[in-house]
Structure 1
């Protein structure tokens, strides 16, 4: 691997990472906000909102090798862009305390792949791609990453790693350094290009998570689910295997398909990549290793002052996983943002043994977090949102 990781040649230190306010061309130009001014905006505990993320960009806590575009800033997160090359590695890894990602890549890289105008990332292989963005977080601030919705629905396992990282998708308090995406296509080989958005990151100041009592108070004021909520370490949700119309309850990824070009939206016929899953008795059998797209029975709402993260339910209810893309923005399913509750799409993979999944079985939970301040834009209203008011829906790359 070439020394220095080409594409990550960003000056060190917070001064070298500073990014300017927006200019007429839609990018960000010379810094205008002091750190003291920014801290006045972001010290309220909670998940940072869009305007606060912009303040971090303007003050240099978020930098990049290319100007950060305004459309990357979402109501409660920042979309992260792929850099210009991928490293095919022998195995997934975490750097561990005292070690950098670059050091581990020196040990594990098999070959380097320029992404250029597009390169195939093959199913079953592990790649590490330096991201364009990097961080210099202030003390007391952490961050967490997740695959974007369309990434999860493609079964494209994508996780962020950092220097000295001991967990995937978690950025330590005060972290300063580069960001990397580990990408492992599970069901479909994909064509990837520089600048594409596969992951997103949120920023947390202080305590953000709502306990069960606080969540019940939120529900009393703005219902977070249709019907009676199941609240225990978050909002429990179940699977819908008795649709109101027909017997189509989900999709199962085919094992042998063509590639999916991530740049193509509404392009691929679903039947070339997916088998329909139908049932008339409210149950299906999950096959080990197979990937399914299913839907929650509940219609979920994220009020404007909250965000949410999908988390596993208890392993004792079954050996399967129901989330790959985990963040829900403020306004998801909220009536004031064009939704009257939205179903959650479940990305399900069964482990080890076949498992009978029943209608109404609780399969996951949403952990709600308070926002540091209300976002300027909400999901489904001020921003274009592919999945507001969604039903059973595949990734945006497929027709229909």
Structure 2
């Protein structure tokens, strides 16, 4: 794509070329120079700094305090990450990031785990000074960023420079109404099936698999080896996952506090003019959580970017009680947001994206 694009709107998510401009203008700062691989079509990968704090509890600083104040209260010990360190399951860590912000007054930010982070059940959230919520950075924020990291299932090896989370930047207020979403679907066809639009685009789970005995998901094993967060195709699937096969009845009982990888029935399309995000599931229709890593970049599932047939991989965990999940059950909704410009690069093979044209797929760490 060309380096210059016509504006789509004055308000919207910022594409890669506008993120480049924020960096050049000093609105995104970093201890080490930001590299090209960090800048995705509509987000910026965030890098871990030189050390991590093991803390006794998750916390938010609130209006009166900084994250450093919280670390002085809740920190147990500091861990050097320069040569790598293992983060254990069930423990909470806070890591200063290499990136900091000095945002303009009209630009806010939001963060989410990267897809590969969510697929290995590493719960990751971003904290800012004086923040009252995780992952949400107010317009005009000036200050450092921190990652809260809690591996839920697998211990992970991380190091300075590891990228577990990503950040989007937003200018103004974006129309995410169902009316706008329906109009976009009419123009671009966002799902391969009939669209169910109600506070977002409904996504359902595939437990049929297309043929008897097909693999329809994976259940994580307990007490496994370490996963190196930065190394692809290094882990044997059978050492970490139990495959789940389609049975006579297309259903699955979710065991409490077990972690599952499943896939959507729908093939999803994110056109170059938009990005999408999976929003938290309504707890009134089931006590389970789907999809920790909720960002879909412009070009995901886009035919011209090699994405025809891209399914959404679902990271699923049941809470407290067993839950019967049935084939075709709605498990989440996607919200689409317009960009201010079409990105100069799209999600896909041209930029080394791991999950274009995916169906049921584990994280990049597994061969």
TM-score, reference length from structure 1 = 0.88
Query: In the alignment, which residue of structure 1 is the partner of 2:296?
Result: 328
Deviation at 1:98? 1.9
Matched, 1:95 2:61: yes
Query: In the alignment, which residue of structure 2 is the partner of 1:8?
Result: none
Query: In the alignment, which residue of structure 2 is the partner of 1:22?
Result: none
The one of 160, 184, 189 aligned to 1:218: 184
Query: In the alignment, which residue of structure 2 is the partner of 1:275?
Result: 242
Deviation at 1:56? 0.2
* SS in structure 2 of the partner of residue 150 of structure 1: helix
Deviation at 1:117? 1.5
Inter-partner Cα distance in structure 1 for 2:340 and 2:274: 9
Matched, 1:240 2:206: yes
* SS in structure 2 of the partner of residue 102 of structure 1: helix
Query: In the alignment, which residue of structure 2 is the partner of 1:52?
Result: 18
CA contact (8 A) 1:237 1:297 kept: yes
Query: In the alignment, which residue of structure 1 is the partner of 2:50?
Result: 84
Bigger Cα displacement from structure 2, 370-379 vs 208-217? 208-217
Matched, 1:185 2:178: no
Q: What runs of 5+ residues in structure 2 fail to find an aligned partner?
A: 1-5
The one of 251, 265, 270 aligned to 1:297: 265
Inter-partner Cα distance in structure 1 for 2:263 and 2:342: 28
Matched, 1:262 2:229: yes
Matched, 1:127 2:93: yes
* SS in structure 1 of the partner of residue 350 of structure 2: coil
Inter-partner Cα distance in structure 1 for 2:301 and 2:244: 25
Within a 5 Å distance, the mapping from 1:88-167 to structure 2 comes to 88-167=54-133
Query: In the alignment, which residue of structure 1 is the partner of 2:142?
Result: 176
Matched, 1:359 2:327: yes
Query: In the alignment, which residue of structure 1 is the partner of 2:216?
Result: 249
TM-score, reference length from structure 2 = 0.96
Inter-partner Cα distance in structure 1 for 2:69 and 2:221: 37
Inter-partner Cα distance in structure 1 for 2:303 and 2:7: 28
CA contact (8 A) 2:9 2:341 kept: no
Could you list the per-position Cα deviations for residues 41-63 of structure 1 after superposition, in whole angstroms to 9, with x for gaps in the alignment? 89820000000000000000000
CA contact (8 A) 1:49 1:76 kept: yes
Bigger Cα displacement from structure 2, 245-254 vs 130-139? 245-254
Inter-partner Cα distance in structure 2 for 1:364 and 1:329: 17
CA contact (8 A) 2:309 2:359 kept: no
Could you list the per-position Cα deviations for residues 273-329 of structure 1 after superposition, in whole angstroms to 9, with x for gaps in the alignment? 111112311001001100000000100000000001101232121000001101000
Query: In the alignment, which residue of structure 1 is the partner of 2:316?
Result: 348
Query: Structure 1 residue runs of 4+, over 3 Å off?
Result: 40-43
* SS in structure 2 of the partner of residue 151 of structure 1: helix
Deviation at 1:360? 0.1
Matched, 1:309 2:273: no
CA contact (8 A) 2:47 2:162 kept: yes
Deviation at 1:381? 4.8
Q: CA RMSD in A?
A: 1.4
Closer/same/farther in 2, CA of residues 287 and 148 from structure 1, 3 Å limit: same
Inter-partner Cα distance in structure 1 for 2:65 and 2:117: 28
Closer/same/farther in 2, CA of residues 90 and 209 from structure 1, 3 Å limit: farther
Inter-partner Cα distance in structure 2 for 1:195 and 1:262: 11
Q: What runs of 5+ residues in structure 1 fail to find an aligned partner?
A: 1-39
**Greater RCO between the two (CA within 8 Å, min separation 6)?**
2
CA contact (8 A) 1:116 1:193 kept: yes
